[in-house]
C-alpha cells in the first residue's frame, strides 16, 4: 500500500530505478511547498490568522464587553491613547470591541460551516461515485435538482422553516453550499473507482464502506481542499449578506453583516459604524481570495 503515493503522481514513479526515489516527497507535501512559495497567498494566510486571533483573543484584554455602554464617552472620537481605541457609538459602546465580537460570529460560522459542508460533500460524493450505477444516478439527480434552485432562495426558505436563529442560519448555509463540492468529489471518486489500489483493497476483503472511508474519501480530499477555501469565502459573504438584509444573525448576537447594516442606516451621523466592520469584512474577503488562488495553483492536479 505504500505505493499509493507513487500511483497518484506517475511522473515520479517512472522507470528510473537509480534516481533517489526514496527521497521523493509526497504529492501533498509537494503541493504544500508550492503554496508556500506563493508570497501573496502566504501573506494573506498570515493576515487572516491575525484577524481571527484578534477577534477571539483581543476582547479578553479590555475591561468592557461589546454591549457595555460607557455613558461618560458617548460618540467618542478615534483616540489611540484612550481605552476606546476606535471610539464609541452614540450609546457609548466601544466600536472596536463590537466589530471584533461580530467577527467571532462571522468567522466562527464561516469556518465551521465550511468544514461541515466539506465533510458532508466528500462522504456523499465519494459514496455516489464509488458505488456507481443506479444509486449514483439517484444521488446525483437529487443534487442536480437542489443545485437548480436559486441558492439565496434555498437559504431563505430554510431560514423561514426552521425559525430565525443562528443555528438555522448555519443549517441553511450548509444545505445550500455542500452541493457543488459534492459534485467535484463524486467526479474524483469515479476516476478512482477502477484504479488498481482500489481493486487490491476489494480483493483483500475490505467492505464497500471501508474502501469509501479509507481510500476514496481521503483521495478526493485533495481536490476538495481547494474548494473549501472558496466555501469559507462564500459562507462569509452569504452570512453577511443575509444579516445585512435582516434574515441572518439575530439580536442579541451581531455579525459583520448586521453591524454594516446598522452602520449603513447611520452613515449621516457616524461613518465609522460602516467603515470599521466593512474594512474587516473586506480584508478577510481579500485574503480568502488570494488564499483560494494560491491553493488552486498548488493543489489542482490540472495546474501541474
Partner 1 sequence: MWRYIFRRVLGSLPTLFALATITFFILRVAPGGPFSDNRRLTPEALAALNRAYHLDESLPQQYFRYLWNLLHFDFGPSVKYRDSTVGELILNSFPVSLEIGLWAMVFSTLIGIVLGIAGALRRNGMIDYGAGAIAMVGLAIPIFVIGPILQITFGLDLHWLPVAGWDGTLATKILPIAVLTLPNIAYVSRLMRGSMIETIRTNYVRTARAKGLGERKTIFKHALKGALLPVVAYLGPATAVTITGSIAIEQIFQIPGIGRYFITAAQDRDYSLVMGVTLFYGTIVVMGNMLSDIARGLIDPKVSYD
Smallest distance, Å, CB 261 to partner 1? 8
- Of 36, 31, 21, nearest to 301 by C-alpha is 31
How far is Cα 6 from Cα 24, in angstroms, rounded to an integer?
Answer: 9
Window 105-144: contact mask with partner 1 (x via CB under 8 A): ----------------------------------------
Comparison of 57 and 271: residue with beta carbon closer to partner 1: 271
50 belongs to the binding site for partner 1 (CB under 8 A): no
Bridge partners (DSSP) of residue 93 are 69
Ramachandran sector of residue 290 (left: φ over 0; alpha: ψ -120 to 50; beta: rest): alpha
Peptide bond just before 290 cis, omega within 30 deg: no
264 belongs to the binding site for partner 1 (CB under 8 A): yes
> C-alpha distances in angstroms, 104 versus 56, 80, 100, 256, 281?
6, 23, 7, 9, 12
At 167, list the grid cell: 443555528
By CB under 8 A, how many residues form the interface with partner 1? 37
Which residue stretch of 15-23, 182-190, 213-221, 284-292 sits at the interface with partner 1 (rule: CB under 8 A)?
Answer: 284-292
Single out the residue of 125, 129, 248, 263 in contact with partner 1 (rule: CB under 8 A). Answer: 263
Smallest distance, Å, CB 133 to partner 1? 22
Comparison of 78 and 245: residue with beta carbon closer to partner 1: 245
Comparison of 180 and 219: residue with beta carbon closer to partner 1: 180
- Of 39, 44, 43, nearest to 282 by C-alpha is 44
Comparison of 181 and 257: residue with beta carbon closer to partner 1: 257
Comparison of 57 and 161: residue with beta carbon closer to partner 1: 161
Single out the residue of 59, 113, 278, 294 in contact with partner 1 (rule: CB under 8 A). Answer: 278
Which residue stretch of 58-66, 129-137, 209-217, 264-272 sits at the interface with partner 1 (rule: CB under 8 A)?
Answer: 264-272
Comparison of 114 and 259: residue with beta carbon closer to partner 1: 259
Smallest distance, Å, CB 128 to partner 1? 19
268 belongs to the binding site for partner 1 (CB under 8 A): yes
Residues 6, 7, 11, 15: what is their CA dihedral angle, to the nearest 10 degrees? 80
φ and ψ at 205, to 5 degrees?
100, 15
Burial of residue 137, with CB atoms counted within 10 A of its CB: 0-12 exposed, 13-18 middle, 19 or more buried: exposed
At 160, list the grid cell: 423561514
Comparison of 74 and 149: residue with beta carbon closer to partner 1: 149
Q: Give the three-class secondary structure for 91.
A: coil
Single out the residue of 21, 74, 91, 271 in contact with partner 1 (rule: CB under 8 A). Answer: 271
**Among residue numbers 156 through 175, which ones bind partner 1 (CB under 8 A)?**
156-163
Burial of residue 294, with CB atoms counted within 10 A of its CB: 0-12 exposed, 13-18 middle, 19 or more buried: buried
- Of 181, 177, 155, nearest to 168 by C-alpha is 155
By CB under 8 A, name the binding residues for partner 1.
Answer: 145, 148-150, 152-153, 156-163, 237, 240-241, 244-247, 260-261, 263-264, 267-268, 271, 274-275, 278, 281-283, 285-286, 289
Amino acid at each position: 500500500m505504500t505505493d499509493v503515493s507513487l500511483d497518484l503522481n506517475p511522473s515520479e514513479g517512472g522507470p528510473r530505478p537509480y534516481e533517489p526515489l526514496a527521497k521523493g516527497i509526497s504529492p501533498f507535501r509537494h503541493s504544500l511547498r508550492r503554496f508556500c512559495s506563493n508570497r501573496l497567498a502566504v501573506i494573506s494566510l498570515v493576515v487572516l490568522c491575525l484577524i481571527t486571533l484578534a477577534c477571539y483573543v483581543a476582547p479578553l484584554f479590555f475591561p468592557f464587553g461589546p454591549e457595555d455602554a460607557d455613558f461618560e464617552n458617548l460618540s467618542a472620537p478615534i483616540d489611540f491613547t484612550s481605552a476606546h481605541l476606535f471610539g464609541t457609538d452614540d450609546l457609548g459602546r466601544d466600536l472596536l470591541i463590537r466589530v471584533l465580537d461580530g467577527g467571532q460570529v462571522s468567522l466562527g460560522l464561516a469556518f465551521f460551516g465550511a468544514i461541515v459542508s466539506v465533510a458532508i460533500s466528500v462522504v456523499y460524493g465519494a459514496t455516489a461515485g464509488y458505488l456507481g450505477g443506479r444509486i449514483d444516478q439517484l444521488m446525483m439527480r437529487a443534487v442536480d435538482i437542489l443545485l437548480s434552485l436559486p441558492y439565496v432562495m434555498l437559504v431563505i426558505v430554510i431560514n423561514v422553516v426552521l425559525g430565525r436563529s443562528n443555528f438555522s442560519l448555519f443549517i441553511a448555509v450548509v444545505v445550500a453550499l455542500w452541493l457543488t463540492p459534492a459534485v467535484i468529489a463524486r467526479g474524483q471518486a469515479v476516476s478512482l473507482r477502477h484504479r488498481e489500489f482500489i481493486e487490491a483493497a476489494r480483493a483483500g476483503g475490505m467492505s464497500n464502506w471501508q474502501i469509501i472511508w479509507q481510500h476514496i474519501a481521503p483521495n478526493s480530499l485533495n481536490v476538495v481542499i481547494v474548494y473549501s477555501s472558496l466555501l469559507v469565502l462564500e459562507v462569509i459573504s452569504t452570512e453577511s449578506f443575509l444579516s445585512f438584509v435582516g434574515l441572518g444573525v439575530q439580536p442579541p448576537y451581531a455579525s459583520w453583516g448586521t453591524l454594516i447594516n446598522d452602520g449603513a442606516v447611520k452613515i449621516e451621523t457616524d461613518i465609522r459604524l460602516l467603515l470599521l466592520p466593512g474594512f474587516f469584512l473586506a480584508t478577510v474577503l481579500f485574503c480568502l481570495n488570494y488564499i483560494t488562488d494560491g491553493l488552486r495553483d498548488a493543489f489542482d492536479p490540472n495546474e501541474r
